[in-house]
Protein backbone atom coordinates (compact mmCIF):
# COMPACT_ATOMS: atom_id res chain seq x y z
CA UNK A 1 0.00 0.00 0.00
CA UNK A 2 1.88 3.09 -1.20
CA UNK A 3 2.22 6.00 1.19
CA UNK A 4 0.06 9.00 0.33
CA UNK A 5 2.26 12.01 -0.35
CA UNK A 6 1.31 15.57 0.49
CA UNK A 7 -0.51 17.13 -2.48
CA UNK A 8 1.81 18.33 -5.22
CA UNK A 9 1.12 19.21 -8.83
CA UNK A 10 3.71 16.63 -9.85
CA UNK A 11 1.81 13.68 -8.39
CA UNK A 12 -0.45 11.56 -10.65
CA UNK A 13 -3.21 11.77 -8.02
CA UNK A 14 -4.89 14.46 -5.92
CA UNK A 15 -7.35 14.80 -3.05
CA UNK A 16 -11.02 15.72 -3.02
CA UNK A 17 -11.73 16.59 0.58
CA UNK A 18 -15.13 16.82 2.23
CA UNK A 19 -18.13 14.52 2.21
CA UNK A 20 -20.38 16.35 -0.26
CA UNK A 21 -17.69 17.11 -2.87
CA UNK A 22 -16.47 13.51 -2.63
CA UNK A 23 -20.00 12.34 -3.42
CA UNK A 24 -20.01 14.64 -6.46
CA UNK A 25 -16.75 13.10 -7.65
CA UNK A 26 -18.19 9.58 -7.34
CA UNK A 27 -21.26 10.64 -9.27
CA UNK A 28 -19.40 12.35 -12.11
CA UNK A 29 -16.09 10.47 -12.36
CA UNK A 30 -16.45 7.13 -10.52
CA UNK A 31 -13.65 5.58 -12.60
CA UNK A 32 -11.11 8.02 -11.13
CA UNK A 33 -11.72 7.28 -7.45
CA UNK A 34 -8.71 5.46 -6.00
CA UNK A 35 -9.04 5.40 -2.20
CA UNK A 36 -11.63 6.55 0.31
CA UNK A 37 -10.11 8.23 3.37
CA UNK A 38 -12.16 8.16 6.55
CA UNK A 39 -11.97 9.99 9.88
CA UNK A 40 -12.77 7.72 12.83
CA UNK A 41 -15.13 10.36 14.26
CA UNK A 42 -17.13 10.65 11.05
CA UNK A 43 -18.28 7.08 10.59
CA UNK A 44 -21.84 7.81 11.77
CA UNK A 45 -22.23 10.73 9.37
CA UNK A 46 -25.00 10.11 6.84
CA UNK A 47 -22.93 11.29 3.88
CA UNK A 48 -19.99 9.14 4.97
CA UNK A 49 -22.26 6.08 5.12
CA UNK A 50 -23.36 6.82 1.56
CA UNK A 51 -19.76 7.32 0.41
CA UNK A 52 -18.77 3.95 1.87
CA UNK A 53 -21.70 2.21 0.19
CA UNK A 54 -20.82 3.61 -3.22
CA UNK A 55 -17.11 2.90 -2.82
CA UNK A 56 -17.86 -0.67 -1.77
CA UNK A 57 -19.89 -1.15 -4.96
CA UNK A 58 -17.16 0.40 -7.09
CA UNK A 59 -14.45 -1.65 -5.43
CA UNK A 60 -12.69 1.47 -4.11
CA UNK A 61 -10.63 0.64 -1.04
CA UNK A 62 -11.40 2.54 2.17
CA UNK A 63 -9.07 3.24 5.05
CA UNK A 64 -8.94 5.21 8.28
CA UNK A 65 -6.65 8.14 7.50
CA UNK A 66 -7.22 10.84 10.08
CA UNK A 67 -3.67 12.13 9.76
CA UNK A 68 -3.79 12.47 5.96
CA UNK A 69 -7.21 14.16 6.12
CA UNK A 70 -5.92 16.66 8.66
CA UNK A 71 -2.74 17.30 6.70
CA UNK A 72 -4.48 17.88 3.37
CA UNK A 73 -7.54 19.77 4.65
CA UNK A 74 -5.73 21.66 7.42
CA UNK A 75 -8.85 21.01 9.50
CA UNK A 76 -9.52 18.65 12.39
CA UNK A 77 -13.07 17.84 11.35
CA UNK A 78 -12.74 16.75 7.74
CA UNK A 79 -14.72 13.51 7.89
CA UNK A 80 -13.87 12.04 4.52
CA UNK A 81 -11.93 12.52 1.33
CA UNK A 82 -11.16 10.71 -1.88
CA UNK A 83 -7.80 10.09 -3.42
CA UNK A 84 -8.39 10.19 -7.16
CA UNK A 85 -6.28 9.73 -10.27
CA UNK A 86 -5.80 12.79 -12.42
CA UNK A 87 -7.36 12.36 -15.85
CA UNK A 88 -7.49 13.89 -19.30
CA UNK A 89 -10.55 15.28 -21.04
CA UNK A 90 -11.30 16.28 -24.62
CA UNK A 91 -13.42 19.36 -25.27
CA UNK A 92 -16.65 18.97 -27.21
CA UNK A 93 -16.20 20.78 -30.56
CA UNK A 94 -19.94 21.33 -30.96
CA UNK A 95 -20.40 23.31 -27.73
CA UNK A 96 -19.39 26.69 -26.33
CA UNK A 97 -16.04 26.89 -24.55
CA UNK A 98 -14.44 29.07 -21.92
CA UNK A 99 -10.69 29.61 -22.27
CA UNK A 100 -8.83 30.66 -19.13
CA UNK A 101 -5.39 31.93 -20.08
CA UNK A 102 -2.64 31.75 -17.46
CA UNK A 103 -5.02 31.79 -14.52
CA UNK A 104 -2.91 31.74 -11.37
CA UNK A 105 -5.23 31.89 -8.37
CA UNK A 106 -6.77 28.58 -7.32
CA UNK A 107 -9.81 30.24 -5.73
CA UNK A 108 -10.55 32.22 -8.89
CA UNK A 109 -10.16 29.11 -11.04
CA UNK A 110 -12.55 27.08 -8.89
CA UNK A 111 -15.12 29.85 -8.52
CA UNK A 112 -15.05 30.49 -12.28
CA UNK A 113 -15.64 26.77 -12.92
CA UNK A 114 -18.60 26.73 -10.54
CA UNK A 115 -20.16 29.62 -12.48
CA UNK A 116 -19.36 28.07 -15.87
CA UNK A 117 -21.20 24.88 -14.95
CA UNK A 118 -24.03 26.97 -13.50
CA UNK A 119 -24.37 28.97 -16.70
CA UNK A 120 -24.13 26.00 -19.02
CA UNK A 121 -20.55 26.10 -20.34
CA UNK A 122 -19.13 22.64 -19.65
CA UNK A 123 -15.99 22.77 -21.79
CA UNK A 124 -13.07 24.67 -20.30
CA UNK A 125 -9.63 25.16 -21.85
CA UNK A 126 -6.91 26.23 -19.43
CA UNK A 127 -3.75 27.66 -20.98
CA UNK A 128 -0.35 27.33 -19.29
CA UNK A 129 1.39 28.62 -17.27
CA UNK A 130 -1.45 28.20 -14.83
CA UNK A 131 -2.52 26.79 -11.50
CA UNK A 132 -2.75 22.97 -11.35
CA UNK A 133 -6.40 22.38 -12.15
CA UNK A 134 -6.38 19.38 -9.79
CA UNK A 135 -5.11 21.48 -6.88
CA UNK A 136 -7.42 20.77 -3.91
CA UNK A 137 -7.95 24.54 -3.54
CA UNK A 138 -9.37 24.68 -7.09
CA UNK A 139 -11.60 21.69 -6.39
CA UNK A 140 -12.79 23.20 -3.12
CA UNK A 141 -13.68 26.57 -4.66
CA UNK A 142 -15.47 24.80 -7.52
CA UNK A 143 -17.73 23.08 -4.97
CA UNK A 144 -17.54 19.86 -6.96
CA UNK A 145 -18.31 21.53 -10.31
CA UNK A 146 -14.84 20.61 -11.59
CA UNK A 147 -15.77 16.96 -12.02
CA UNK A 148 -18.82 17.75 -14.13
CA UNK A 149 -16.81 19.86 -16.56
CA UNK A 150 -14.49 18.82 -19.35
CA UNK A 151 -11.28 20.66 -18.48
CA UNK A 152 -8.30 20.42 -20.83
CA UNK A 153 -4.92 22.04 -20.25
CA UNK A 154 -3.03 23.51 -23.23
CA UNK A 155 0.67 24.37 -23.45
CA UNK A 156 -0.19 27.66 -25.16
CA UNK A 157 -3.08 29.48 -26.79
CA UNK A 158 -1.96 28.57 -30.33
CA UNK A 159 -2.45 24.90 -29.53
CA UNK A 160 -6.04 25.62 -28.52
CA UNK A 161 -6.67 27.68 -31.67
CA UNK A 162 -5.16 25.00 -33.88
CA UNK A 163 -7.53 22.41 -32.44
CA UNK A 164 -10.62 24.61 -32.91
CA UNK A 165 -9.77 26.86 -35.87
CA UNK A 166 -13.28 27.65 -37.07
CA UNK A 167 -15.18 29.02 -34.11
CA UNK A 168 -15.60 32.69 -33.20
CA UNK A 169 -13.39 33.83 -30.32
CA UNK A 170 -14.49 36.56 -27.90
CA UNK A 171 -11.49 37.84 -25.93
CA UNK A 172 -12.46 39.83 -22.82
CA UNK A 173 -10.28 42.94 -22.65
CA UNK A 174 -10.46 46.13 -20.61
CA UNK A 175 -9.91 48.30 -23.69
CA UNK A 176 -12.16 46.40 -26.10
CA UNK A 177 -14.24 48.55 -28.40
CA UNK A 178 -17.60 46.83 -27.95
CA UNK A 179 -19.55 46.33 -24.72
CA UNK A 180 -20.65 42.94 -23.47
CA UNK A 181 -24.39 43.12 -24.10
CA UNK A 182 -23.99 44.22 -27.70
CA UNK A 183 -21.49 41.49 -28.57
CA UNK A 184 -23.40 38.81 -26.69
CA UNK A 185 -26.65 39.55 -28.53
CA UNK A 186 -24.95 38.93 -31.89
CA UNK A 187 -23.00 35.82 -30.89
CA UNK A 188 -23.81 32.52 -32.58
CA UNK A 189 -22.75 29.27 -30.91
CA UNK A 190 -20.51 27.40 -30.74
CA UNK A 191 -18.18 30.19 -29.55
CA UNK A 192 -15.25 30.55 -27.17
CA UNK A 193 -15.08 33.16 -24.41
CA UNK A 194 -11.43 33.98 -23.68
CA UNK A 195 -10.18 35.45 -20.41
CA UNK A 196 -6.71 36.63 -19.37
CA UNK A 197 -4.98 36.30 -16.06
CA UNK A 198 -5.55 38.19 -12.82
CA UNK A 199 -2.66 40.61 -13.06
CA UNK A 200 -2.26 41.51 -16.71
CA UNK A 201 -5.36 40.39 -18.61
CA UNK A 202 -4.91 39.34 -22.24
CA UNK A 203 -2.05 40.74 -24.37
CA UNK A 204 -3.17 43.24 -27.09
CA UNK A 205 -2.69 40.68 -29.90
CA UNK A 206 -5.83 38.88 -28.74
CA UNK A 207 -7.92 41.72 -30.15
CA UNK A 208 -6.93 40.42 -33.60
CA UNK A 209 -8.18 36.89 -32.86
CA UNK A 210 -11.85 37.80 -32.68
CA UNK A 211 -14.35 40.42 -31.52
CA UNK A 212 -12.98 41.72 -28.22
CA UNK A 213 -15.47 42.38 -25.42
CA UNK A 214 -15.53 44.97 -22.67
CA UNK A 215 -17.57 44.51 -19.49
CA UNK A 216 -18.82 48.05 -18.80
CA UNK A 217 -17.48 49.17 -15.45
CA UNK A 218 -16.83 52.37 -13.57
CA UNK A 219 -13.36 53.86 -13.85
CA UNK A 220 -13.27 53.90 -10.07
CA UNK A 221 -12.04 50.31 -10.17
CA UNK A 222 -9.02 49.04 -12.06
CA UNK A 223 -10.72 45.82 -13.07
CA UNK A 224 -13.14 43.19 -11.86
CA UNK A 225 -12.11 40.07 -10.01
CA UNK A 226 -11.36 37.42 -12.65
CA UNK A 227 -13.98 34.91 -11.46
CA UNK A 228 -16.52 37.75 -11.49
CA UNK A 229 -15.58 38.73 -15.05
CA UNK A 230 -15.93 35.10 -16.20
CA UNK A 231 -19.30 34.85 -14.47
CA UNK A 232 -20.81 38.10 -15.73
CA UNK A 233 -19.49 37.47 -19.24
CA UNK A 234 -20.76 33.89 -19.39
CA UNK A 235 -24.12 34.74 -17.85
CA UNK A 236 -24.69 37.40 -20.48
CA UNK A 237 -23.50 35.34 -23.44
CA UNK A 238 -25.49 32.28 -22.43
CA UNK A 239 -28.61 34.26 -21.54
CA UNK A 240 -30.67 31.48 -20.11
CA UNK A 241 -29.81 28.78 -22.65
CA UNK A 242 -28.90 26.39 -19.85
CA UNK A 243 -32.54 26.48 -18.78
CA UNK A 244 -33.78 25.39 -22.17
CA UNK A 245 -32.17 21.98 -22.10
CA UNK A 246 -29.35 22.87 -24.47
CA UNK A 247 -26.67 21.65 -22.08
CA UNK A 248 -25.09 18.26 -22.51
List of residues contacting a second copy (CB under 8 A): 107, 111, 114-115, 117-120, 141, 143, 145, 148, 179, 181, 215-218, 220-222, 224-225, 227-228, 231-232, 235-236, 239-240, 242-243, 247
Q: What are the angstrom distances between the C-alpha of 103 and each of 109, 110, 129, 133, 181?
A: 7, 11, 8, 10, 24
What Rg, from alpha-carbon coordinates, does the chain have? 19
170: burial class by Cβ within 10 Å (0-12, 13-18, 19+)?
buried
Nearer to a second copy, 166 or 222 (CB): 222
CB of residue 160 vs a second copy: minimum separation in angstroms? Answer: 24
CB of residue 61 vs a second copy: minimum separation in angstroms? Answer: 29
DSSP class of 244: T
CB of residue 107 vs a second copy: minimum separation in angstroms? Answer: 7
Nearer to a second copy, 88 or 220 (CB): 220
Q: Is the dihedral of CA 89, 94, 98, 102 positive or negative?
A: positive
Nearer to a second copy, 140 or 161 (CB): 140
CB of residue 220 vs a second copy: minimum separation in angstroms? Answer: 5
CB of residue 165 vs a second copy: minimum separation in angstroms? Answer: 29
CB of residue 142 vs a second copy: minimum separation in angstroms? Answer: 9
Nearer to a second copy, 64 or 199 (CB): 199
Nearer to a second copy, 4 or 193 (CB): 193
Residues 84, 85, 90, 91, Cα dihedral to 10°: 30
Nearer to a second copy, 211 or 217 (CB): 217
Buried b (16+ CB within 10 A) or exposed e, 182-216: ebbeebeebbbbbbbbbeebbeeebeebbbbbbbe
- Of 164, 141, 132, 140, give the one whose Cα is nearest residue 230: 141
Amino acid sequence: MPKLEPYSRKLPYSYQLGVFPALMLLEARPECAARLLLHPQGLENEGVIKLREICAKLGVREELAERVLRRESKKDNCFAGLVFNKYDCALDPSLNHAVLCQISDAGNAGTAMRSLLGFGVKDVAVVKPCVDVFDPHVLRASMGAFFKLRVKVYENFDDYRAEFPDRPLYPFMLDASKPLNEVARAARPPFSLVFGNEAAGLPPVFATYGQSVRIPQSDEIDSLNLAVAVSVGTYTFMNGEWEMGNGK
